[in-house]
Amino acid sequence: MDWFGRAKVAFTHSPSPLALQRKDGAATDLLKVCEASTPTCQLNPLLFNGDLQTMWTAVKEDGPPIYYRRKIFDADHKTYTGTFTVDFAVDPHQDVDDSLPPRTAFFSEDEFAKIGSDDTRPMLIVLHGLSGGSYEVYLRHAIAPLVLEGGNWDVCVVNARGCAHSKMTSGVLFNARATWDVRQIVNWAKRTFPNRPLFGLGFSLGANIMTNYVGEEGANCPLKGAISVGNPFDLEVSNKALQRSLLGKQVYSRVMGANMKKLINTHKDAVLKHTNLNFDRIQKVTFLHEFDREVQTVTWGYPTENAYYRDASSSDAVLGIRVPFLAISALDDPIAVYDAIPFQEFTQNPYTVLLTTSLGGHLSWFEIGGGRWHARPICNFLKHMATEINLDAITPTANGEAPKTQFVTEFDPVRRKLQVLDN
């Protein structure tokens, strides 16, 4: 047990971290920025392990009062059709829309038509965890210092399809490698706010998606930096770990399976209209892996849920990242487990740094008094990058040379096994 809630903090990184230049011309590197952004991790000593930290999230907490305006986007991909919603953090408003989460209302057409800007304010694009949305408390804690208390950031949250009271308008559901919606929004933001530095942040399943996205984009990624929090990385390892323990299977996997089944039931009419899913079989689902077997394999054509997990995992994608990238993980996380963290991959890519804490649970990091520690390194890192680092001087070329090998080979870290064929 760590003494009185004081968690150990460690960094895993390349021997030659990405060189960075400060705006005043001084030299630094990605590791130094991450270290400077990370405060002491002092957590609530009564929540002294990952299970207690994680289960404490069930205790009702109001969280920071973040207000949103929602926009429905039409997907611009010929295969991944339908709509999805994006919630933009805005000033407090009095609008009430019972069809949306708390403090959320739709943009009017006139309001959204004027959203574009030539300003240079930094902008953050956020992905939430499994079955969640922009309303999640862990998410609001993380963005509150950026949009409240004089924060000068614009923040938007891309809701996974069907989540956060959004409608399903096609048979295309989200999955752990569903990078198409975040890609569309990043490209839209780049066009709409051409002078803004864009950053990405993902939590849990959203962290896996964000990691896959920046890995897939590689040197062409429009983001100036990204953060992954509580990423399960290797989904097959994480899922098998859930099934091995009593709490993992009977609490975490059961709760997540129930949440996903509830999500499908909420959209019953759309599921029956747009998909070939067996709705009655989904009603018999208990655990998360059973849901993935009935939904993800049927929707996408994976032969098994484990094939889906292997294909959707983001552990290899770490090697493809070519923007400054910070991953934050708790070593006692019972959902995004220790064994799934790709430590070696972080040592091979100078664009990446892995920050681990010995305590914290899954997206928890509860401090004495109810604060959430993860909000501080997230906001410190983003503010440091946006205000102190010369972002234009960052180049997508890894430090040093690739090691010599016996054979002429090429490793593609984001190659997918599943290919969606055009009809």
> Is residue 253 among the annotated active site residues?
no
pLDDT tens, position by position, 277-313: 999 999 999 999 999 999 999 999 999 999 999 999 9
Give the residue extent of every domain in the chain.
Answer: 3-234+315-393, 239-312
pLDDT of residue 401: 54
pLDDT of residue 407: 86
pTM here? 0.96
Single out the catalytic residue among 329, 333, 364, 374. 333
DSSP conformation class of 159: P
pLDDT tens, position by position, 364-393: 999 998 899 999 999 999 999 999 999 999
Confidence of residue 1 (pLDDT cuts 50, 70, 90): low
DSSP conformation class of 254: H
DSSP conformation class of 388: H
pLDDT of residue 292: 98
> With pLDDT > 90 as the criterion, what percentage of the chain qualifies?
88
pLDDT of residue 173: 85
Single out the catalytic residue among 14, 166, 204, 364. 204
Phi-psi bin for 230: left (phi > 0), alpha (psi -120 to 50), beta?
left
Mean pLDDT over each residue of the chain, to the nearest integer: 95
pLDDT of residue 398: 56
> Is residue 74 among the annotated active site residues?
no
> Is residue 204 among the annotated active site residues?
yes
Taking 90 as the threshold, does the pLDDT of residue 406 lie above it? no
Taking 60 as the threshold, does the pLDDT of residue 323 lie above it? yes
What are the E-state strand segments in 65-195?
67-74, 83-90, 104-106, 123-127, 154-158
Q: Rounded mean pLDDT of 207-230? A: 98
Assess contact for 125 and 198: CB atoms under 8 A: yes
Confidence of residue 402 (pLDDT cuts 50, 70, 90): low
Task: For domain 3-234+315-393, give the CATH superfamily.
Answer: Alpha/Beta hydrolase fold, catalytic domain (3.40.50.1820)
pLDDT of residue 422: 66
Helix or strand (DSSP H, E) at 418: none
Confidence of residue 273 (pLDDT cuts 50, 70, 90): very high
Q: Could you give the angle at the alpha carbon of 13 between the alpha carbons of 338 and 400, nearest 5°?
A: 140
Confidence of residue 423 (pLDDT cuts 50, 70, 90): low
Our CA dihedral for 312, 309, 411, 78, rounded to 10 degrees, sits at: -30
Single out the catalytic residue among 128, 141, 362, 384. 362
